[in-house]
Structure 1
Amino acid sequence: MAWDPSDSVGTARSGRADLRGALHRLRRATGLPLAFAGLVEPGPGQLRISELQGNRTTALQGLAVRSGNGLGGKTVALARPCWVTDYSVSRQISHEYDAAVAAEGIRSVLAVPVVVRRQVRGVLYGALRAAQPLGDRTVGAALEAARDMEQTLVVRDEARSLLAATRVPEGDSAGAWEEVREAHGALRALAPRIDDPELRAELLRVCGRLSGVTGAEHTEAEGVSRVALTPRETDVLACVATGATNAVAAERLGLRPETVKAYLRSAMRKLGARTRWEGVVAARRAGLLP
């Protein structure tokens, strides 16, 4: 059975949600009245502004900024923060977008790149409608907002990579199923770190599909009753099923080793298991793990 679980994962909507969150953090941390942002589109390094907060006009909405042009294009080309105190007269940048900037009344502005694996994925802007210098504290706060978004994108990329690589084996190869179980454990560990509810739900749906492929058959054939484990109990068992120790499971799940041990004891009690491995086997028979 060939199945691609990544087909239903949308990128544009989640990317814009990431930008909105980053802009909110930037404005809250810097106090800047205006913030806007865009993602770099595939192809010739073009940035398109899609999210604005605190704007008075729609002059910047949908503006396409080419790499090297204007302040944002310079930021994309150099992959480092850039800022000017008075945009319209600055000699540090080119002026292809002066009309849109003037329409919004922007004077002082900074642009911070969002860089993932040495690739600029987007730019966050913060601006004033007065020609006032932007201090190091403001620039530092904007950088922190960009770093937060970078971490979000790293986790999202990891999730999509796992989804794209996860396939239900067509045969009964032990090696193929071991890969599925490794992917299942990684997906379970990653899901709680995903802020996007749609992507998180997609990860959990894939986990359910993977565990249900053989689990439902075992449950029906062997008369194993369904056991209700909590999400965290299932997360811990999924890690244990890959051979992880309590310490390794704790690191993957962002929990304390003592907490992992407590979840494992609770899951084993519900499954009627005396050892970790008995718990994993019982969970597979109950359709909770692949």
Structure 2
Amino acid sequence: MTSLNPPQMPIERRVLARDLEPLRRHGRMDMAFGGPVRNGAVAMQITDLAGGRTRSTADLVVRNGEGLGGKALMLGRPVAVADYMADESITHVYDHAVRPEAIQTLAALPIIVDRTPRLLVYLAARTHVRLGDRWFDGFAPMVRRIEREITVEDEVGRRLSLLRPNAEPGYPGLSRDDRIDIARELTELADRIDDEGLRARLHAVGNRVAPIAADAPAWPPALLRPREIDVLEQVAQGLSTRQVAEALGLMPNTVKSYLKSAMHKLHATNRVQAIIAARRLGFLG
């Protein structure tokens, strides 16, 4: 089998590339910057910037306990200062990076998954801004979505690792039923997230796992209509319902109807099982 998890940008970098500017706009701040956290919470490196005048903060490594970001990592919660340069509650080892941006108000927002910081996002203003609990609470929906996506990515990685050959002597490997379960669970995980790219990737990986189950016991033959086969072919490529609708010139609800009908005929409870059955019966290549 080919690699089930092709190399790609880590989830933390994808989140920053997509959400850093929306976070800045949501907080009505002048600048946002951040990066992934290393080794639990030992340090973080600033990799992404939005709204900066310079690149003075780029690639800066912030260590636990140092500066405002290091304080956020140490405490495991958001922190802020109204006058960065004058504030005595933090160390000032990174003033050389902050000063060129003329930052006055600064907040550090850690993204924590399973009690471990994974990202640290800074939100900065070049004037005095009052930041209270309501301001921080306003980020809760975005933070929860990011945390959920990182959790899903972690779980996908864990389950895909089970599919890779194990070099230990005598390792029994996974049964066909185990692999079918993993394919099904990948699809169920995909249905729980909002990120369309990640959702399509999960469906595609699940579909590549599905052929492993081609020796499943035969079900009674099912007669699929051409449009049901068309929909299954598109779904097998990892496309979302909306993308299938666009590709076939159908309404999303019509796609759902065809998919539901095909699943019923194939005795499947989800799209992965339907693709497995359709391949086994020769409807899909």
Whether 2:127 is the aligned partner of 1:130: answer yes
Deviations 1:216-271 (A, max 9, x none): 9999xx9x999726359979xxxxxxxxxxxxxxxxxxxxxxx98974334345xx
The aligned residue for residue 231 of structure 2 is 230
Q: Residue 179 of structure 2 aligns to which amino acid in structure 1?
A: V
Q: Deviations over 1:119-177 (max 9, x none)?
A: 011111111101332233322223443332111111111221222222589xxx99701
Within 5 Å, give how 1:1-290 maps onto structure 2. 5-6=4-5, 8-12=6-10, 14-42=11-39, 45-167=42-164, 176-192=175-191, 193=193, 195=195, 197=197, 199-200=198-199, 202-213=201-212, 215=214, 228=229, 230=231, 263-269=259-265, 282-283=277-278, 285-286=280-281
C-alpha distance in 2, partners of 1:64/1:174?
A: 42
Amino acid at match of 1:128: A
Q: Secondary structure at the match of 2:47?
A: strand
The alpha carbon displacement at 1:10 in A equals 2.9
Q: Residue type of the partner of 1:195?
A: D
CA RMSD of aligned residues (A): 3.9
Residues 73 and 128 (structure 1 numbering): CA distance in 2 closer, same or farther, change over 3 Å?
same
Q: Give, as a single letter, the amino acid of the residue that structure 1 aligns with 2:35.
A: G
Relative contact order, higher structure (CA 8 A, sep 6+): 1
Gaps of at least 5 residues in structure 2 are 167-171, 237-254
Residue 267 of structure 1 aligns with an amino acid whose one-letter code is: M
Contact 1:229 1:267 in 2 (8 A): no
Q: Distance in 1 between matches of 2:183 and 2:235?
A: 11
User: Paired residues, what number?
Assistant: 251
Q: Residues 142 and 36 of structure 1: is their aligned pair in 2 closer, same or farther, counting only changes over 3 Å?
A: farther
**Distance (whole Å) between structure 1 residues aligned to residue 277 and residue 142 of structure 2:** 45
Q: What's 1:251 paired with?
A: none
Change in CA separation of 1:288 and 1:215 when aligned onto 2, cut-off 3 Å: farther
By how many angstroms is 1:202 displaced?
4.4
Deviation string, structure 1 residues 2-29 (Cα, Å, up to 9, x no partner): x6523x24343x4212013332332232
Residue 185 of structure 1 aligns to a residue whose secondary structure is: helix
SS of the residue corresponding to residue 230 of structure 1 reads helix
Q: Please report how far the alpha carbon of residue 190 of structure 1 lies from its aligned counterpart in structure 2 after TM superposition.
A: 2.4
Aligned partners of 1:72, 1:288: CA distance in 2, in Å?
A: 55
Tell me the residue number matched to 2:252. Answer: none
- 1:110 positional shift: 0.7
User: CA 1:202–1:216 in structure 2 vs 1: closer, same or farther (change >3 Å)?
Assistant: farther
- Measured in 1, the distance between the counterparts of 2:137 and 2:216 equals 55
Higher helix share: 1
